[in-house]
Every structure is written in C-alpha cells, then in structure tokens.
A and B are shown apart, each in its own frame.
Chain A
C-alpha cells in the first residue's frame, strides 16, 4: 500500500518535473573539513580543544578549556543531503526562500538584516542567529524554546512569517522529486516508505553540525601561540574578561556563550514593541525580556546586532553596556536585570579595544560550499540578490 503510494507520488513528481536530471546529483562520500570518517563510516569532529578538560564537562572556562559535548556522528551522505536541502528553496511555501536565505554563508550564516523577512515580505520579528558552532548548543531560538536542531527546524519552515511551508507540502515536494527520493535512500538506507519529516530534520541537523569555527586567531592564542593576537587585541581580551566589563562572564570561552538566558534590557529599534522573550516560553515574569546569550564567534560578520537588530555595529553594542544598568528599559517596566549588567564606566579606548578583540574571533575556513544547482531545479537564490 505504502509502496503504491510512493510510486504514485513518484509518477506525479516525474510528470511535473522540470529540474535537472536525477543523475546530476551525487552525495559526497568524504566528511566535511574538520571531521574524521571513522571505521563505522560516520563523521566525528576533531579539534585541539579535545586535548583539554572542563569543569563538570560543561565546556566553559578560559583559554585551554574543552568544548561542551556536541552533536556529530552523522554519515557524509546525511551531511551532504542536508546541504542540498539547506540551499533548496523548495523548502519554502512558495519556492522563494531556502534556509540559506537567512543563514547565508556570505553573511556569517545570518542575513545582514535587523530582522529576517519571510516569504510574504513580512518582518519575522527577530534577527536570524548565526549557525556557526550550533553543534555545541543545547538551546535554539532567541527565546530558547527548542532543545535540539531537529526540534528547531519546523519553526522557520512552517512559520507563515518565515518560510511559510506546511508538512504536507514539504513532504509532497520532496517525495515528488526523483532526485530527492534517491538521495534520501542513500542517506537513510534502512528507511522504507516515503520521505518523512524525521529524515528531513535529521539531514538538516547533520549539515548544520558541520558548520564549525574554531580556527580563529584567538584560538591560536589559546593553544599557546602568543603572537597570534596583537597588543591591542590582548588589551581588549583583558578588558573583555576583566570584572569591570564582565563580558566573558556570559560570553564564556571557548564558544563565547554560556548558553544561559539573561535579561539584559537592550532597546528595541525605533517603532518596535517590547519583546518579552523567554517569559512567554517559561511563563516566568522574572524572565521578561530574557534572551539566550549568543555566541560571539564570527561576530564581525553578522551585523546588525541584538535579537531585533537595534545596533548597527559592535561599538554600538559595547557602548550600550557601558551606558549602565537599565539605560534602555522602558520607563513603566520593571525588569529583573542580570546582576552582571553593571555600570562599568569603561574609557573610550577600552571600548575600542574590546571591539578590536572581537575581530580576532573570525574564522570561516570551514565555510560550506553553496551547490551550483539544487535537486528541485529552483535557483538557489537569496533574497536581495
């Protein structure tokens, strides 16, 4: 019965197919850069940080501290299938947006916008977070409402303000495409029956876990090469981790996030209403205006900044913290601001040095390759091009 349904869908797919021939697409048999293909045929991450330890195995601390536990162990096929899906606009309701539209390799795996724009041209409400190093995260979305990449995927896919698709349409378009049927079969050989959401989300997760950035100049410094950072950057590092600025208390190495949710009291952009953040998810009024601490890796690549893009540049963000506790909290509102939000009174020079240091966190050597063509035959376009 299922077999017949598959054939039927396949037939419909072939009838309407206008895309490239199915044989044009093959899945990579090698693991992405940074990964070792084990005897079991899966990709495992290798990094110098694996030679270090961390307290309670939490992956938080100082220079030579281990990373937190991470996701890996996907096959090269699953990762490469995820790459095709990631860049294929067939995942959106009207075939105009792919994941890469808002997580664009050319824009730090974000989109360069204050807030993302969905298929209907609507403001999605929040900024697209970078996907660098998501393999290490346990919480997803600004309000931390998903606890895995697989749980995160349906959010943007099915939100009418983002990709505007539906499960039915998503699975119909994939099952209707002979190339995808073949590729899913290669990536999930044990799987019988039509392509299901589970495989789609697994493949997307597999690809995203390959987006690793751990080779910045800061990392070279951390591994023991003093000259990797300039004097100004070291000065900046010392302000960054000083207890006056306290940046590293939440943007903690080695990932430069401690993944906690924190009430910072950042302003909303002009004309934008106050975003309650995690309060709505955890139903805790004390967490009104709380957001997940974002990573600072590749931060120079992902302006503008904050959950709603209130800051055009990094200096603007550091200036905000330097203006003192609660400087942008709406007058009629009480927020339980995080205790590290203080009144640091940094000098202009110290603010500049922090910005200098943040520039040393850039590493895009493992940037994924954008496929020239995707199985749907749709142009892997990005909005704005």
Chain B
C-alpha cells in the first residue's frame, strides 16, 4: 500500500517534469511521407567551392612507389625507422610482437594475406598499443591485431588516413581510434571484444566509417566531439550500445555536429557492460541501439534497428547521463536530431525503469516495445512517419522538411597536399626560432655576433651550412657550438643563406 503510493508519486513527478499531459493522448493527425521522394538533407558541411558533399573514395593521396617487405621474424618498426617518408611497408603473413609507431608522413603499412593467413600483431597482453601514428597520409590495411592493452590503431593528429580491411580482436580500450585528425576513412574492418568503443572517432573532422563489422564490445561505433562524419553500411551487433554520437565534457574540442547514421544494421546490442569504472561508456544501459548525447544535427536514416532490449534510439543530454563531469563550455543538449525512416523491430522489450516511467507518463504502459526515447531538451528536432515507432518524449519533434540524405554522398576531402614552404622562409624561421638563442646581430651572447660570422662566410653559405652540422671549437672566449645536424642539409643551407644576409 505504502509502496504503491510512492510509485504513484514518482510517476506524477516524472510526468510533471517531462511537461506531458495525460489528457492529450494520441489523436494526432498522421503525416505520411515517402523517403524515396521529397527533399534531401544537404548536410552541414561546406567544402572548398561550397560543395557540401563529395564522391571521394580515397584520401591518402597517390600510393608511394618505394616498397619495403617485412617477413615473419623481422621487425615492422625497424623497417619504418629505416624508411624515408613515402614508403609502403608490405608485411608478410606471420606473427609480430611489437608496438609500431609512425611519426613521418606517407607511410602505408599493408599486410599481405596468403590463403587466409594474415600478418598478425600480437601484444600478448603485455604491449600497450599495436600501432600509434602521428604522420599524415597514413594507411593501415589487411592486418590482424590481437591482445594489446591500450588500443589497436591509434592516431594523434595525422590527417588523410585510411584504415581498412583489418581484423582487430580483444585489443584494449579502443580498436580503431583516430584522434585530432581531419579527413579519414575507416572501412571494412572487423572489430570485436573491445572494452570501450570498437571504432572511436575522437575530436576529428570529415570522416567516413563504412562497411565495418563491430561486435562483442561495450560500444560499437562512437563519434565523439567530432564534426561532419558519416557512419553507414556497418553491421553493429551484440555490443552494450551500438552507435553513439556524443559530446564528452572536459575535452578541448567542445562539440559534435553533423553526423549521419544511415543504412547500418544495429542488431541485438544487449551485451553486459564491461566498461572500465569511471569511463563514459560504463553508464550505457545494455540494450541500447543508437545513443545520442549532447550531439547536434545527428541524422538517423535507413538503419535496421532490431532486438535492442532497452531502446532502438535514445536521445539524451548531459544532465541525464550518469556520473559524467560538467563542462561550462559544452552545450549539454542534443539539438536538431533528425529521425527519418528506419526499420525498427523488437526493441525495448526489456527496458529500464526510467523508460518505463516515461512510458507510463505518456499513457503507453501497454506497449511491449520501445523504439525511441528522448529525455532532456532536444530543441529543433524533427522526425518523419513517427506513427510507425513506439516513442516517448518525441511529441514536440516537428515534421522534418526532408525525407532522405541521398544528396549527401560523403564529407571527405581531396588529399590535402603538404604546405609548400619556400627555402627562404624556412631559413628565416630556423634562424629566428633557433639561432637567435645564441647569436645577435652585433652583440656578444653565447655565440659570436652575426656580423662576425657574416665577415667569415659571406661568399660561402655552404661552408657555414657544413660548419653548423659539425662545429669545431674556434674561439677560446666562446663555448663550443652544439651540432645542428638535426636540421636536414637543405634547411642548413637555407638558414646559412638567411643568416648571411640579415642586417639587424
């Protein structure tokens, strides 16, 4: 008796809080749209020349002609270290126990698959990450990665990356994790048993995630604090949560904008949550198909979303997410969510108490399923053909003024060529950024005045360039100069030429 009263009060509180009214139950007029006709969403990205969308399928530029072959028993890293930028590292089938890092541009690590045998990077649960890259135009293909503790493939700021055709199993926190990069493709990878997100796009722009098979992980594919991402044609099954578009607070890039989730299979994501305590994903209820938290302009279209026991789609904000920190600079709501036609089957058959309370509040206590839940503010959101779904919290969504995204092919960019730097400009910057620490034009510092150097080398810049690479002690009253051999020969000559013509 007493218990019932408490529940009754709770329901009333929820109903009041959600601003819903029992009296308004469902005689809305049905609006029926066809997704094969009608306007198309043009996306939020404007590239060069104003094009919102491209048909680009490769972003890393032309393949290098320099090829190095690594055989079983050899080291991939040794090959990368010896390779000039612009090299294909061809890795033959075999087992490699190493952490591979790539801090130069245009390196492609491409496995050779022979009768199903792959090049396997095996961390044996001892090594941290399989591949770390910070170079631009990075490609990783055809590899198998197992038993690492950190990440399978992790990028830090490399642009124009392509990560495809890899098999990644039980390799730590993230399977594939490009971070702080622009213009990348993650496709045709099979990723499983990952303790956070199998594929995690973090703080990156202009991304395509397509044709991947991700399963048995806490999160399938997560787009976090990123802009202009398309996630399509992926098979996302038996994770705790399938597809995620998040703004995580406390990161230096504060928003997630313009994400299209389309034509994916999001099936049976009911895996018990094994996320690390304190991680953001540890709060995801097992049985979540698609989760949008504080991300803006997320389009959900053409997915088959089935058998996710809590809900097919959850749209929420920071205030309703458990145990996450505050960030005054992050806008906490999921603005302008756009839900188009999706096939939704058997979702929400064993949902969480909070969702049941919301269903009660909307007078939907009889429903056996739940396709879409919205909690927290979601201004400017829209939906089409809402009558086909079992929903809570979407009654204030407007009718979308488009029915499909077919006008938006993808958001990739042509490979961005490296910035051309004229030798003179490089010489000046090296002179000011390095040489002036010890030399002034006409005064005594740690090294002799530039005027004195000019008198000695005026017609011999190459001589000066050679000297700074391998200095010898020349003056009793000055310390010996440290070698500047870390500058390449062209830069040494450029800085020598610049130094010989400065006038103050």
Contact = CB atoms under 8 A, between A and B. Distances in A.
B56 interface: no
Contact of A238 (B99, B248, B251, B441): B99
Given A61-B156, A244-B172, A34 B433 contact: yes
Q: Which residue among A61, A62, A259, A282 has the maximum number of chain B CB atoms within 10 Å of its CB?
A: A62
A153 B134 CA distance: 37
A243 B177 contact: yes
B251 A47 contact: no
Nearest to A235: B99
Contact of B181 (A37, A55, A222, A225): A55
B177 A215 contact: no
Interface string B465-491: 000000000000000000001111000
B182 interface: yes
Contact of B128 (A238, A252, A287): A238
B438 interface: yes
A226 B437 contact: no
Contact of B432 (A34, A51, A221, A284): A34
B486 A220 contact: yes
Nearest to B277: A325
Interface in A42-93: 46-48, 50-56, 58, 60-65
Interface stretch (B21-29, B147-155, B296-304, B337-345): B147-155
Contacts of A241: 132, 154, 156
A148 interface: no
B132 A215 contact: no
B113 interface: no
Given A46-B433, A215-B437, A62 B326 contact: no
A267 B429 CA distance: 43
B156 A339 contact: no
A243 B172 contact: yes
Nearest to A217: B486
B87 to A, nearest CB: 14
A145 B250 CA distance: 16
Most buried by B among A63, A242, A259: A242
A30 interface: yes
A367 B429 CA distance: 19
Contacts of A365: 434, 437-438
A6 interface: no
Nearest to A66: B157
B81 A339 contact: no
B276 interface: yes
B129 A242 contact: yes
B362 interface: no
A238 B132 contact: yes
Given A243-B173, A286-B325, A224 B488 contact: yes
A25 interface: no
A10 interface: no
A227 B103 contact: no
A245 B149 CA distance: 10
A36 interface: yes
Nearest to B318: A286
Interface string A254-276: 00001111110000000000000
A59 to B, nearest CB: 9
A108 to B, nearest CB: 17
Given A30-B440, A336-B323, A48 B433 contact: yes
A365 B447 CA distance: 12
Nearest to B251: A260
Given A55-B205, A338-B250, A227 B328 contact: no
B364 interface: no
Interface in B260-308: 276-280
A51 B427 CA distance: 12
Nearest to A68: B252
A65 B252 CA distance: 15
A183 interface: no
Given A60-B252, A242-B150, A48 B429 contact: yes
A188 interface: no
A51 B421 contact: yes
Minimum-distance CB pairs A-B, first 5: A61-B157, A62-B134, A365-B437, A62-B156, A225-B486
23 contacts: A30-B441, A35-B436, A36-B432, A46-B429, A47-B429, A51-B429, A55-B253, A61-B180, A61-B181, A62-B157, A64-B135, A220-B486, A221-B103, A224-B488, A241-B132, A242-B128, A243-B150, A244-B149, A258-B251, A337-B278, A338-B250, A339-B248, A341-B278
